[in-house]
Amino acid sequence: MKCPECGAENNDNSERCNVCNAILPASKSQNHQEYREIKFKSKYFATILSAVIGFFFIFDGVGQLYLGFYKRFGVECGISIVLNLISYYVVFFISMTIGMILYILPLIWLIYTTYDTYKCADALTTGRSIPLLFGRDIQ
C-alpha cells in the first residue's frame, strides 16, 4: 500500500507508514472509521489532561501519554520539571521577585505543551503526520 503522505511503499496490514509514520488508510473502511472515531473522542480529553495536570502539578504533556507518545511526554515533562525547579529555587533562595518573573517560563511551556498535545491529537485524528518537536520527530 502506498502512503498518502510521502508515497512510500508499506505492508498492506500496516497501521502507520514506516517512513513518515502517517496513519495509513485501513484495508477495511469500516475498521478505519472505527479507529478514527476512537481517536476523535480522545482529542479534547488529551488536551485537557495536559492543561489541567500541567497547571496543578509540574508534569506537563500528560495528554501525550494518553495519546501513546511516551518519548514526547518525557521531553515535555522533563523540561517542565527543570523550569519549575529553577523558578522555585530562585523564589526560595535568591529573590522572590526575580523568581516570580522567572515563573513565566514554566507557564509559557505549559501553554506550548498543551497546544502541542492538541496538535498531536489533531494529527492523529485526521491521519496526518505528527508535528515535529524542536525539529525532531519525537513520539
Of 79, 65, 76, give the one whose Cα is nearest residue 121.
Answer: 65
Q: Return the number of the residue (22 or 53) whose C-beta is nearest Zn ion.
A: 22
Q: Binding-site residue total for Zn ion (CB under 5 A)? A: 8
Q: Does 8 bind Zn ion (CB under 5 A)?
A: yes
Q: Return the number of the residue (39 or 63) whose C-beta is nearest Zn ion.
A: 39
Q: What sign does the dihedral 112-119-64-19 (CA atoms) show?
A: negative
Q: How far is the CB of 4 from Zn ion (least distance, A)?
A: 8
Name beta bridge partners: 84: none
For 134: left if phi > 0, alpha if psi spans -120 to 50, otherwise beta; the answer is left
Looking at 1, 16, 19, 35, which residue binds Zn ion (CB under 5 A)? 19
Chain residues binding Zn ion by CB under 5 A are 3, 5-6, 8, 17, 19-20, 22
